[in-house]
Amino acid sequence: MLRRIFDRSPFASILDAHAELRQLGAIRIATGLLCLARIVPSIWASRYYFEEGAWGIPWVTVEGLPIVALILLVTAGVFTPVSTVALLLATRRYEGHLESESLSTDVLSLLLSLLVLTSAGARRSVDAVWLRQPGWLGSPVRALYRLVGIPSTSGIRIILVLYFVAFGLINLGGAVNHWHEEAWRSGRALDIIFSSTYMSRVWGPWRALDLRFPELAMWISWVLTMIQLVAQTTMLALVWWRPTARLVIAWGALFFLSSIFALQLHYLGAFELLIWAAIFHRPRRSDPTPAGAFVRRPWSEQTIAAAGAIFLTIFVAHESWAFAGIREYPFPKLRLYLDTIGVHSPRVFNYNDLPLGDPWCIVYRGDREERLPYHGSRGERLAWVQWNDLLLYRSSIRWRNEFHADTVLDPHRDAVGRLQQLVVFDHRRRHVQTSTYVVDVFVSSASRTDLPPAERFERRFIGSIRFHCSGERNATRCTPVVGAATE
């Protein structure tokens, strides 16, 4: 019976290991390029965000340089099994230091672990060239691939099934958290998300629709929210029958593309799309390249399958006990270990994320002479928080999460402290002796769908704060002066 179910699924069409390995090699290269584009802005920002160490450079900046080297090794495919594992662990550690870990980090970890298990360095790589080299030059690479092996067609099929199940369970955990939230159950979540200047790229057209045809906007939101919830909840069951599997594949591709182009989730959507392509896109069959002694033995592939099944069973049992994180986890450290490769129930776009678009601040250098590329006039993300995870997660999101209108301008609270860190960063990067900054704080009720649209989207001015900065490098000091600026 299980065999018959499997034959009806998209996984039955995985028939050519060589073609799959070539595709995985291309996915590895794309992953490396995305990692490079993602990490370099954070390393650059860390140079001025943190205090310098003994070498005249912040230690956290120095820590980022080996990660760039590992990304280049993975992209080129040099000792790929080892360099990919090192990149996975180093990235998680580094982003933990930066306090910039996010769902993108988890999905990237899942993708990198997939590339390790499928030996994605066996094709389109320097390793592939060295494997064919006789003598001492290729001997270390041959020894490495004899140890880790290259999967057969059935081995690739097993690994991709395991990763789809993992991905489906992750989505199911996310759906459980969504069903727990009233905004999702009532179908209002996507109206809040699409109208948010902070989370959405289509907030302008969506707000225009909300203002002119509020009932239509609410119905569209309800339909899209229910499609999202149902798809996330049922994808594990629907994939095993080809007609419904096509719906799962189409939903996934559209959802990941919309994350990139309609929402502010470019890296997250790109990493998810690469996983989706590895699992469901079947490349054209090609002339095989002999793998010879490097092909994994049947017992090795059975061991990988058994280990993957045990891992997922432990994950399901732990998440079921904690109801996907809604209750306390019985073994919090176990959750952290499982999350090393990105397997956990995400809690995103829920009660703490949906209001992120309500408050915002606009930061100017001088007497509002130059607006920093931080937040726009309506709270939209500008360049620093579109492409720099350090400034996005450590500064912008935290400031918004901690926002309280009564204390946001209190110099003794964290909100002013985070703005102080930001202006210190900008002052340092300019290499000047003195600077003045003005921060204007605004708020709206955009996430309050119980209000009329015009009232929801109205911008209200809270107040201003001025910073006087002096000194350079570690001697930089920025002093807040509340009430010294007017709108």
Task: Look at residue 6 and tell me whether its pLDDT is greater than 90.
Answer: no
Task: Look at residue 289 and tell me whether its pLDDT is greater than 70.
Answer: no
pLDDT at 290: 59
Query: How many CA atoms are closer than 13 Å to the CA of 23, on its beta-carbon side?
Result: 21
What percent of the chain stands above pLDDT 90?
A: 86
pLDDT at 10: 87
3-state secondary structure of 55: coil
* 145 φ, ψ (degrees, to nearest 5): -75, -25
Q: How far apart are the first and last CA of the chain?
A: 71
pLDDT at 288: 67
Closest C-alpha to 38, from 16, 18, 67: 67
* Packing angle of the helix pair 80-98, 103-117 (nearest 10 deg): 170
pLDDT in tens, 160-196: 999 999 999 999 999 999 999 999 999 999 999 999 9
**pLDDT band, residue 42 (cuts 50/70/90):** very high
The per-residue pLDDT of the chain, averaged, comes to 93
**Average of per-residue pLDDT across 409-429:** 94
CA distance 352 to 356: 8
pLDDT in tens, 358-406: 999 999 999 899 999 999 999 999 999 999 999 999 999 999 999 999 9
Tally of CB atoms within 10 A around 322? 18
pLDDT in tens, 58-111: 999 999 999 999 999 999 999 999 999 999 999 999 999 999 999 999 999 999
Tally of CB atoms within 10 A around 314? 15
Q: Measured over all CA atoms, what is the biggest interatomic distance in the chain, rounded to whole angstroms?
A: 75
pLDDT at 486: 45
